[in-house]
Structure 1
Amino acid sequence: MTTEHDQRQPRVVLIIIALMLGMLLASLDQTIVSTALPTIVSDLGGLEQLSWVVTGYLLASTVSTPLWGKLGDQYGRKHLFLAAIVIFLIGSVLCGLSQNMTQLILFRAIQGLGGGGLMVLAQAIVGDVVPVRERGRYQGWFGAVFAVSSITGPLLGGLFVDHLSWHWVFFINLPLGALALFVIAAVLPGSANRTKHKIDYAGIVLLGAATSCLVLMTTWGGTTYPWSSPVIIGLIAAALAMLAAWVVVEKRAAEPVMPLRLFRLRAFNMSSIIGFVVGFGMFGAMTYLPLFMQIVHGVSPTASGLHLLPMMVGVLGTSILSGQLIAKTGHYRMYPILGTAIATVGMFLLSLLDEHSSTLTMSLYLFVLGAGLGLVMQVLVIIVQNAAPYRDLGVATSGATFFRSIGSSFGVAILGSVFTARLNDDIAELAGRTTFPPGFTPAAVQSDPTTLQRLPPELAADFLHVYADSIARVFLVATPVLFVAFLLTWFIPEQPLKQTVGASDLGEGLGTASAERSSLEEVERGLVQLAHADLRRDYYRRLGQLAGLEELSPQGVWIVARLGAHGGWMRATELAERGQVSRAEGRPYVDQTVAAGLVRRSTDGNSLRLTPEGERIHERLLLHHRAGLRLLVADWGPDPELNALVDRVSPQLLGSKTDAP
Structure 2
Amino acid sequence: MKASEERVGDQNNMPTEKPEQTRLDVGDSSRLLNGWRLRSVTLSIALAMFLVNIEVSIVATSLVSIVNDLQGFDRIGWVVTSYLITYTSLIIIWSKFSNAFGRKTCMICTLFIFVAFSGGCGGSQSMTQLIICRAFQGIGAAGCVSLGLTIAYEMVPQHDYPKYAAILSSVSALGSLVGPLIGGAFSERVSWRWIFLINVPFGFAVCILLLVSIPNGFPYQGQEISHSRTGVRDSPLASARSLDILGSFCLLGASLLLVTALLEAGATFTWRSAPTISLFTLSGILWIAFLLQECHLSRSRYKITEPIFPWEFFKNRAWMGTLLLSMFSGAPYIVAIIDIPQRFQTFGVNEFGAGVRLIPFNLLIALGAVVVNIIAGKSRIPPIFLLLVGVVCQVIGVCLLSSITTTTTVPSAIYAYQILTGLGIGIMFGLCLVLPPAVIDNKDFALCAGAVLQFRVFGGALGLAVASTVGNNYITTQLQHLLPPDQLSLVLKSTGATSLLPEPVRHRVIEILVHSYNQRMRVLIGFTAAQLIALAMLWRRPQISLVRNDSTASNPNLAGDDGDEASSHANTN
**TM-score bracket, shorter-length normalisation:** 0.7 to 0.9
Task: Give unmatched runs, 5+ long, in structure 1.
Answer: 1-7, 503-526, 535-626, 647-661
Please identify, of 373-382 and 422-431, the stretch whose mean Cα deviation from structure 2 is larger. 373-382
Pairs within 5 Å for 1:137-156: 141-156=167-182
Query: Partner of 2:339 in structure 1?
Result: 288
User: Quick one: structure 1 residues 495 and 97, their matched pair in 2 at CA, closer, same or farther if it must change by over 3 Å?
Assistant: farther
Equivalent residue in structure 1 for 2:370, among 320, 323, 326:
320
Q: Quote how far apart the aligned CAs of 1:468 are.
A: 0.9
Pairs within 5 Å for 1:507-586: none
Query: Partner of 2:114 in structure 1?
Result: 88
Equivalent residue in structure 1 for 2:227, among 190, 195, 211:
195
Pairs within 5 Å for 1:450-529: 450-486=496-532, 489-490=535-536, 492-497=538-543, 501-502=546-547
1:38 matched to 2:53: no
The 2-side partners of 1:240 and 1:495 are apart by 37
Q: Quote how far apart the aligned CAs of 1:96 are.
A: 0.8
The 2-side partners of 1:134 and 1:348 are apart by 36
Query: Partner of 2:493 in structure 1?
Result: 447
User: Quick one: structure 1 residues 387 and 223, their matched pair in 2 at CA, closer, same or farther if it must change by over 3 Å?
Assistant: same
Q: Quote how far apart the aligned CAs of 1:137 are.
A: 7.1
| Contact in 1 for aligned 2:154/2:445 (Cα 8 Å) | no
The 2-side partners of 1:640 and 1:316 are apart by 33
| Contact in 2 for aligned 1:128/1:191 (Cα 8 Å) | no
The 2-side partners of 1:272 and 1:329 are apart by 23
Task: Give unmatched runs, 5+ long, in structure 2.
Answer: 1-33, 221-225, 229-238, 298-302
| Contact in 2 for aligned 1:389/1:636 (Cα 8 Å) | no
Q: Letter of the aligned partner of 2:380 in structure 1?
A: T
1:419 matched to 2:445: no
Task: Describe the superposition over 1:525-572 as per-residue Cα deviations: whole angstroms up to 9, x where unpaired.
Answer: xx8xx9xxx9xxxxxxxxxxxxxxxxxxxxxxxxxxxxxxxxxxxxxx
Q: Quote how far apart the aligned CAs of 1:359 are.
A: 4.8
Q: Letter of the aligned partner of 1:474 in structure 2?
A: R
Equivalent residue in structure 2 for 1:261, among 287, 296, 312:
312
Q: Quote how far apart the aligned CAs of 1:139 are.
A: 6.3
Q: Quote how far apart the aligned CAs of 1:321 are.
A: 3.5
Equivalent residue in structure 2 for 1:158, among 184, 191, 194:
184
Q: Which has the higher contact order (CA 8 A, sep 6+)?
A: 2
Q: Quote how far apart the aligned CAs of 1:318 are.
A: 3.1
Query: Partner of 1:26 in structure 2?
Result: 52
Task: Describe the superposition over 1:559-602 as per-residue Cα deviations: whole angstroms up to 9, x where unpaired.
Answer: xxxxxxxxxxxxxxxxxxxxxxxxxxxxxxxxxxxxxxxxxxxx
The 2-side partners of 1:401 and 1:348 are apart by 26
Please identify, of 192-201 and 21-30, the stretch whose mean Cα deviation from structure 2 is larger. 192-201
| Contact in 1 for aligned 2:262/2:469 (Cα 8 Å) | yes
Q: Letter of the aligned partner of 1:229 in structure 2?
A: S
| Contact in 1 for aligned 2:174/2:366 (Cα 8 Å) | no
**What is the TM-score normalised by the length of structure 2?**
0.79
Equivalent residue in structure 2 for 1:378, among 430, 433, 446:
430
Query: Partner of 1:570 in structure 2?
Result: none
**What is the TM-score normalised by the length of structure 1?**
0.69
The 1-side partners of 2:466 and 2:543 are apart by 36
Task: Describe the superposition over 1:192-225 as per-residue Cα deviations: whole angstroms up to 9, x where unpaired.
Answer: 7472352222212211211111111211223321
Q: Quote how far apart the aligned CAs of 1:110 are.
A: 0.6
Over the residues paired in the alignment, what is the CA RMSD in angstroms? Answer: 3.4
Query: Partner of 1:219 in structure 2?
Result: 263
Q: Quote how far apart the aligned CAs of 1:282 are.
A: 1.6
User: Quick one: structure 1 residues 181 and 326, their matched pair in 2 at CA, closer, same or farther if it must change by over 3 Å?
Assistant: closer
| Contact in 2 for aligned 1:32/1:156 (Cα 8 Å) | yes
- 3-state SS of paired residue (1:34): coil
Q: Quote how far apart the aligned CAs of 1:637 are.
A: 5.3
The 2-side partners of 1:299 and 1:423 are apart by 21
Q: Letter of the aligned partner of 1:312 in structure 2?
A: N
The 2-side partners of 1:628 and 1:387 are apart by 16
| Contact in 2 for aligned 1:281/1:478 (Cα 8 Å) | yes
Q: How many residues align?
A: 509
- Identical-residue share of aligned pairs (%): 24
The 2-side partners of 1:116 and 1:212 are apart by 15
User: Quick one: structure 1 residues 324 and 178, their matched pair in 2 at CA, closer, same or farther if it must change by over 3 Å?
Assistant: closer
Q: Quote how far apart the aligned CAs of 1:382 are.
A: 5.5
Please identify, of 216-225 and 374-383, the stretch whose mean Cα deviation from structure 2 is larger. 374-383
User: Quick one: structure 1 residues 496 and 378, their matched pair in 2 at CA, closer, same or farther if it must change by over 3 Å?
Assistant: farther
The 2-side partners of 1:461 and 1:144 are apart by 40
The 1-side partners of 2:431 and 2:499 are apart by 45
